[in-house]
């Protein structure tokens, strides 16, 4: 029916890091949304109906403003451009580049190597045992978090950059959630832990936590 406004619909999986990022961003921007669970563990992302909506067969996907938006950082960029407050990136070009670099260090350098589909491929057909897959996961976490700590520390405040949450924190918190799932010691990353502690107290982050959506 023309003129009828519909709520944004987020297609996600409760424990997906990329979906977790988008839930945080939607909450920070004050966007109410409907949620459709896509069970990655059960292969729902490969079903024809979902592939017709999203040819990559990945989550998250956000249907909003008549658009089908995919890729978590692209979705967050859209939200930040469409809804001015609160800004998720600094206005200063240099600071903006710095925050983007922190976010990309997580979203491009750590997360893809530890994605569920990568871990599944290590198991079958490559035949790696669970202990080997866990060590793979932990290796790439350590490789990524140590330089991230060094990058963030000089400009961090309560959060990874300054005293307000940014795109960098949106990417960090899901990654640390995963690090704890795999029992990675985090004491070597005090800057990251400080930002994580602040985010834990923030309603937008707390409401997006995977435990709120566990089946």
- Where are the domains positioned within the chain? 11-86, 93-210
Give φ, ψ of 32 to 5 degrees: -80, 140
Sign of the C-alpha dihedral, residues 118, 187, 105, 68?
Answer: positive
The CATH code of the domain at 93-210 is: 1.20.1050.10
Express each pLDDT in 74-123 by its tens digit: 999 999 999 999 999 999 999 999 999 999 999 999 998 888 888 889 99
Fold of 11-86: Glutaredoxin (3.40.30)
Is 187 buried (19+), middle (13-18) or exposed (0-12) by CB count in 10 A? exposed
Q: How far is CA 19 from CA 11, 82, 152, in A?
A: 8, 19, 23
- In the chain, the percentage of residues whose pLDDT exceeds 90 is 90
Express each pLDDT in 36-57 by its tens digit: 999 998 999 999 999 999 999 9
DSSP letter, residue 85: S
Give φ, ψ of 51 to 5 degrees: -60, -30
């Amino acid at each position: 029916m023309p003129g009828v406004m519909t709520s944004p619909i987020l297609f996600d999986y409760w424990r997906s890091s990329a979906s977790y990022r988008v839930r945080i961003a939607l909450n920070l921007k004050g966007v109410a949304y409907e949620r459709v669970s896509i069970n990655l563990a059960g292969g729902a992302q490969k079903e024809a109906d979902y592939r017709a909506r999203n040819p990559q067969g990945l989550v998250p996907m956000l249907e909003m403003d008549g658009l089908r938006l995919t890729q978590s950082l692209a979705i967050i960029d859209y939200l930040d451009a469409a809804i001015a407050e609160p800004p998720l990136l600094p206005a200063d070009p240099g600071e903006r580049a710095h925050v983007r670099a922190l976010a990309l260090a997580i979203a491009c350098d750590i997360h893809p190597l530890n994605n569920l589909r990568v871990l599944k491929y290590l198991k079958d057909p490559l035949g790696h045992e669970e202990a080997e897959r866990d060590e793979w996961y932990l290796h790439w976490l350590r490789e990524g978090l140590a330089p991230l700590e060094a990058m963030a520390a000089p400009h961090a405040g309560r959060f990874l950059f300054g005293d307000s949450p940014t795109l960098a924190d949106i990417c960090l918190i899901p990654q640390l959630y995963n690090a704890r799932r795999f029992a990675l010691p985090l004491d070597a990353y005090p800057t990251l832990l400080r930002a994580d502690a602040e985010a834990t107290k923030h309603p937008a982050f707390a409401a997006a936590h995977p435990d709120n959506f566990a089946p």
